[in-house]
Amino acid sequence: MASAEKDVLAEGISVLGVERVNEQALKEYVTLLKKWNKPFNLTAVRSDRDMVVKHLLDSLSVAPYLSSVKRLCDVGTGAGLPGIPLAIYFPDTQFVLLDSNGKKTRFLEQVKSHLGLNNVEIVQARVESFQPQALFDGVISRAFADLNRMCRVTHHLLADGGLWFAMKSQTAESEISDLDATLTLQQRIDLNVPFLSDARMLAIVKKGESKE
């Protein structure tokens, strides 16, 4: 990573208030992403700067809203986004990175091993068939599905009272207004992603208590 991109990363981390993150681990993740991208087709983003802004800083922008979550599933994680940057930032939180694409999960195993991310488990499975040993108190996704579908197909993964965290562009406002009546929108947050012109938001939806 060139010095200009390192400066963008350092400044972005400062703006987001996530200075305690292991910056070197983030840089090494980008290096691995670039190395494996061509053979594994991990991301359409190519330049170092765009990887820093659109992947690292975008992922870390939600960190302030996840501090109470102890067990988090990143559904449709792809190249590990937002799960890998968040797992680097939250070493005491348990992460499961879920994706059905074998190439992507093999890449993630390489990342986990290289970075020593003992708080991360990689699972290759379709979300509908994944049955975790213990339920999660948080489910997050950056590009998995529209909000209603995300909540519907991951409902079995989340403990009662748990939270869905849906990272969206602000063009997805209709997904919030069309939210199923059985779901509770807890918070809608405009995300400030440094150096990114595209408007981003986070929708936090709470799972109701079981009536059984």
C-beta separation of 189 from 11 below 8 A: no
Please answer whether residues 85 and 59 qualify as being in contact, where contact means their C-beta atoms are separated by less than 8 angstroms: yes
- CATH (residue range 3-206): 3.40.50.150
Write out pLDDT tens, residues 110-156: 999 999 999 999 999 999 999 999 999 999 999 788 999 999 999 99
The domains of the chain are located at: 3-206
Chain centroid offset of residue 2 CA: 25
Specify the pTM: 0.95
Residue 210's H or E segment, with its range, is none
Helix, strand and coil percent figures for the chain, each rounded to 5? 40, 25, 35
Distance CA 47, CA 34 (A): 9
* Phi and psi at residue 54, to the nearest 5°: -80, -20
Q: What is the pLDDT of residues 7-48, one digit of tens each?
A: 999 999 999 999 999 999 999 999 999 999 988 989 999 899
